[in-house]
Copies of this chain bind each other. A is one copy, B any other.
Amino acid sequence: MTSHDSYTDLLIIGAGPAGLMAACWASQYAITTRLIDQKSERTKAGHADGINSRTMEIFDSFGIAELVLRQAVGNMDAAYWGADEKTGNIRRIKCQPSQPQELSRFDQMLLNQGAIEQILIDYLHSKGRVHVERGRKAQDLELPGRSDQNGDDEFPVHVRVVPANGEDGQSENAEVIHARYVIACDGARSWTSAQLNVDSDVWKTESTWGVMDIVPDTEFPDIRRACAIQSSDGESMMVVPRENNLVRFYLHMNGGEGRSPNGPDKTEGCLEDLIDMAEKTLKPYRLSYNYCDWWSLYPIGRRLIKQYRSDRIFFAGDAAHTHSPKGGQGMNISMQDSYNLVWKIAAVITGSVDPAILETYQSERRPEAEQLMEFDTRLVYAYEGGMEDDSEDGVEAVREKYAGFMAGVAVIYPASILVENCQSNTAVARNIQLGKRLPSSLVVGQDDGCVVHLAKKLNSNGYWRLLVFSGDLHSAGIWERLSVFAKEFSGQFTNHLRPQSTKISQLFETFLIHSSPRSSFDKSQLLGSFHDFGTELGWDHVKIFADDPSYDGDTGQAYQHYGIDKRRGGLIVCRPDQHVGWVGDIEDVEGLDRYFSRFLIRKDRT
């Protein structure tokens, strides 16, 4: 048994959506990352297909949202169909927007999982730092020993990796990867969690559903809308429009009696059964199909691991939680897991923050998964129960109650080392919640007049952002307040907190968003006031914006949107994942200092 040893800062096991997102994020940092997957190719067809608004925002922060928009279809309408008692046919009960417009600047999009994986793979390729090592599987896992915890081993997790198609343990191509940290994204039957005997909460149910992606031939008028359909026979079905004229159908296969214990297999049903069921449910409309891209049967069940972390190993995606696909959430929550995690690991590896922040992965992501379990339980119950559409437990009521959750924008990370606790601060920005991602607003560039979504400036490159909402620069005293802020921030604050080898400008980007007419002052005036920021903070021309009506009339609402008083102003700190970590008054450099002192590694500590 031969093997060679190698070393990496971060090892990601599994190149599905969660693992690929982890690798994309890790590509932004000066750390070494490996990504292995035992399969020989990406997902070809089927599986997940919903990309919620928050995932689109995250994709946009990597510059790849456009690639999804180009291929996917938008999920705009939600139609509800029920039984017409007189005829026994189905009839449309209502059609409405699938989610409120104000939730996000992105709609929910629909595209097969393989296409999403390909976009992430192409992104990795373009960055050139990490590539997917296919056909390689983890075989042995050695955890940090007692002695190692004293710091003897900087790469304490040892993972033996062999060719996926080789004979166990006999391979000459075995490699032992020594990693600082490992992220297990190895799916619902996670090899990693099996090695570590990870405890899970498990909710088993007995029902089985069928799913198929077909190009239908039908005169059903809502075939290009997302539909929840309940027929008079009690059949329940979901219809989801997809790319390339595909349509996904979810069908409830009544009851679980006589099912095989390991879940359904394809002897229990075939594509023609699904088509028959779907046509029966659609009565009076006819249904046949020209092409089937994918189909499957699956049992409804839920599982959620108790601990998202085991020492230096973290679980993300299906390795942490499984549930039904009905809400279109799985792929999103999975990618959002690793999006939450990787910037923290990378900041710890690069030495700028305290490893204590890694505790927030569990405290921020497990409650989100708990809510997912609750939502999924209610939604499946609503579908299977054949609840009347207007009942409190009906599909529409559940979807409405969870609209923000489904869009992925309602998640609020609880107070922690990374999220300030003081809710009184939020009076500064009444519509901003600590722990929630900052919603975007259109602003206009002070110097160039270009209209831009503020979120475009919060892209995923590892920077923390300090947003200085100065208010109206013509208000009395505002220049003095800003000058004091600039002086204290660039003096005491940055000197105090600067990590030994890091320039403060490598950690922070600072933006000024004022609410004065753009034409009413020149940059030179501002530059004078902020002279103390100097070159190190990069206070240059691309970072001043006005909340002022642009030529196209689209801007001028940001202060109102965020609930910031134009005479008072305020400071907002966004974490590298766009979640708000701290809010305070312009004078409150001390509060800002206290916040960052909790986790940024100080000069005087070294």
A residues whose Cβ falls under 8 Å from a Cβ of B:
63, 66, 70, 73-74, 76-77, 95, 97, 101, 219, 221-225, 241, 245, 445, 447-450, 519, 522-524, 527, 540-541, 551-552
Q: Is the CB of B552 within 8 A of A225?
A: no
Q: Provided the pairs A219-B524, A219-B527 are in contact, do residues A74 and B241 lie with their beta carbons within 8 angstroms? A: no
In the bound complex, residues from chain B placing their C-beta under 8 Å from that of A101 are 551-552
Q: Is the CB of A551 within 8 A of B97?
A: yes
In the bound complex, residues from chain B placing their C-beta under 8 Å from that of A527 are 219
- Listed A/B pairs (26) with beta-carbon separation below 8 Å: A63-B70, A66-B66, A73-B450, A74-B448, A74-B449, A74-B450, A76-B445, A76-B448, A76-B551, A77-B448, A95-B519, A97-B449, A97-B551, A101-B551, A219-B524, A219-B527, A221-B447, A221-B523, A221-B524, A223-B447, A224-B445, A224-B448, A225-B447, A225-B448, A225-B449, A245-B541
- CA distance in complex: A95, B223 (Å): 52
Q: Provided the pairs A95-B519, A101-B551 are in contact, do residues A449 and B524 lie with their beta carbons within 8 angstroms? A: no
Q: Is the CB of A541 within 8 A of B448?
A: no
Chain B's nearest CB lies how many Å from the CB of A313? 37
In the bound complex, residues from chain B placing their C-beta under 8 Å from that of A448 are 73-74, 76-77, 224-225, 241
Q: Is the CB of A223 within 8 A of B541?
A: yes
Q: A76-B449, A101-B551, A222-B447 are in contact. List 19 more A-B contacts (CB 8 A).
A: A63-B70, A73-B448, A74-B448, A74-B449, A76-B448, A76-B450, A76-B551, A95-B519, A97-B449, A97-B551, A101-B552, A219-B524, A221-B524, A223-B447, A223-B541, A224-B541, A225-B447, A225-B449, A245-B540
- CA distance in complex: A447, B450 (Å): 34
Q: Is the CB of A447 within 8 A of B541?
A: no
Chain B's nearest CB lies how many Å from the CB of A410? 19
- CA distance in complex: A449, B97 (Å): 9
- CA distance in complex: A219, B541 (Å): 11
Q: Which residue of B lies closest to A78 (CB)?
A: B449
Chain B's nearest CB lies how many Å from the CB of A539? 13
- CA distance in complex: A101, B224 (Å): 34
- CA distance in complex: A73, B449 (Å): 10
